[in-house]
Amino acid sequence: MNPDGMPSRPNPTQDDTVPAKRSPELRYDHELPAPEPVEKIPAKASPVSAAMAPKPIHEPGSFAPAPSGRSFGKKIMIALFVLLIVAAATLAGAYAWYQQELTPVSGSDDERVRVEIESGSTPARIAEQLKIRGVIRSELAFMVYTKITGTQDILKAGVYNLQPSESTPAIVEHLVSGKQDTFRATFLPGDTLANTRKKIISLGFSEGEVDAALGKSYNRLLFTDKPQDADLEGYIYGETYEFDSSVTVEGILSKTFDEYEKVIRENDLIAAYKKRGLNLYQGITLASIVMREVTNKTPNVPNDDQRQVAKVFYNRMAAGMTLGSDVTYQYIADKTGVERTPTLDSPYNTRRYPGLPPGPIATPGAGALIAVATPASNDYLFFLSGDDDVTYFGKTDAEHQRNIVNHCAKKCLIN
């Protein structure tokens, strides 16, 4: 205790001495004193706070964490690349289709199609016409091509003679130029009306147009003595003609009639046939038989065989015999679609029926027409074309039979 009765306080040792509180130092570069360091007291984790602490969304073993921004961008780039490839492939396919649809419909240079483009026709209507007529592959390709080339509004009206062997660009060029075509058509001497009909249709006319023209009545010199119910068999004169593309079927027929009448006038055939007891229709009929019986390499000039054969037919008719021509029953058998036979019951069968057949069996050339007007002088009653293509004549049936044995072993077996 101290003298005041209070317990005395032991003098601290050096170890127990509490260090004196130091005044903060003033640094030369600051006016305020530096803060005293604060001793960090570790916090005790409480059960409640630990339980409520946020946990990661994905537990171990669950789904992977969301991709980073770089990974997502990479996938977008891949998707865009795939879309570009698909688009490029689509465009390439469309271009290939387009190029194919511009190519010609066919490779035949012989076929021609007549197309009439009316004034005021729209490009779409023109494309439809060309597609229907079979000269372009695609209306769409036509429209695209004319749009790209700037030709849609300069396609010209007119009548065109187009070919399916032309490409769409060539056809468009044709329609832009507006040039009216000309074309040639050859009708063969000795051909039938059925084949002539096919020929005219092949020029680009419809069957209806052709049949209507062939069925019309024509008031011309050529048809003098022609029965009203007779068709135009024997009247489409065989020659090569040039026509404008705007020509109609009637125009084509009219030109062949003009040529026919020229031959008639120049050779005074009406008067010549009358001297032989024939009218013009009968003279054409007999000439058509001579035309089919005798080969003539120059059909517009009569040869000796044609004149000799014409006289044989005159001799047989004068003797009351049938003409006995095989080509007449062959013609009607082919026309009616029945079997060729010498016993065919038809007025066209001149083996069975006397006189001339009801009408021509083909179109005679000028040579046959003139041969009938100016036949040779002979007394033959028979003839045949031998296997060597030489014509053999006979005055009697016995001579004729010898000619068959000696010269016609093959041809005379054919019906």
**For residues 49 and 204, which has the higher predicted lDDT (pLDDT)?**
204
CA angle 371, 373, 375 (to 5 degrees): 50
User: Helices (H) and strands (E) in the chain — how many of each?
Assistant: 14, 6
d(C-alpha 204, C-alpha 185), whole Å: 12
Report the chain's mean pLDDT, rounded to a whole number.
86
pLDDT of residue 40: 54
In the chain, where are the structural domains located? 113-180, 183-266, 380-415
159 φ, ψ (degrees, to nearest 5): -110, 125
Cβ neighbours, 10 Å, residue 88: 10
Count of C-beta atoms within a 10 Å radius of residue 371: 29
Report which of residues 39 and 285 the model is more confident about: 285
Residue 116 — φ and ψ, nearest 5°? -105, 115
Place of tokens 């705007």: 246
**Position 61: which residue type?**
G
**What residues contact residue 103 under an 8 Å CB cut-off, 6+ apart?**
137, 167, 168
The first and second tokens of residue 315, run together, are 């001799």
| CA–CA gap between residue 402 and residue 393 (Å, rounded) | 11
- Report strand pairing: 158-162 vs 182-186: unpaired
Q: Which two tokens stand for residue 415?
A: 């019906």
Helix 139-148 and helix 168-177: axis angle, to 10°? Answer: 60
- The CATH number of the structural domain formed by 113-180 is 3.30.1490.480
> Quick one: which H or E segment has residue 184?
strand 182-186
The pLDDT tens digits for 121-149 are: 999 999 999 999 999 999 999 999 999 99
Q: Which segment, 15-19, 21-25, 51-55, 300-304, is predicted with the most confidence on average?
A: 300-304
Grouping H, G, I as helix, E, B as strand and the rest as coil, residue 106 is coil
Mean pLDDT value across residues 373-394 = 95
- Rounded mean pLDDT of 366-395? 96
| Alpha carbon distances (Å) from 129 to 79, 118, 135, 193, 324 | 45, 11, 9, 30, 52
Question: CA 86, CA 80: separation in Å to the nearest integer?
Answer: 10
Say which DSSP state 158 is in. Answer: E
Please give the average per-residue pLDDT across 359-365, as a whole number: 97
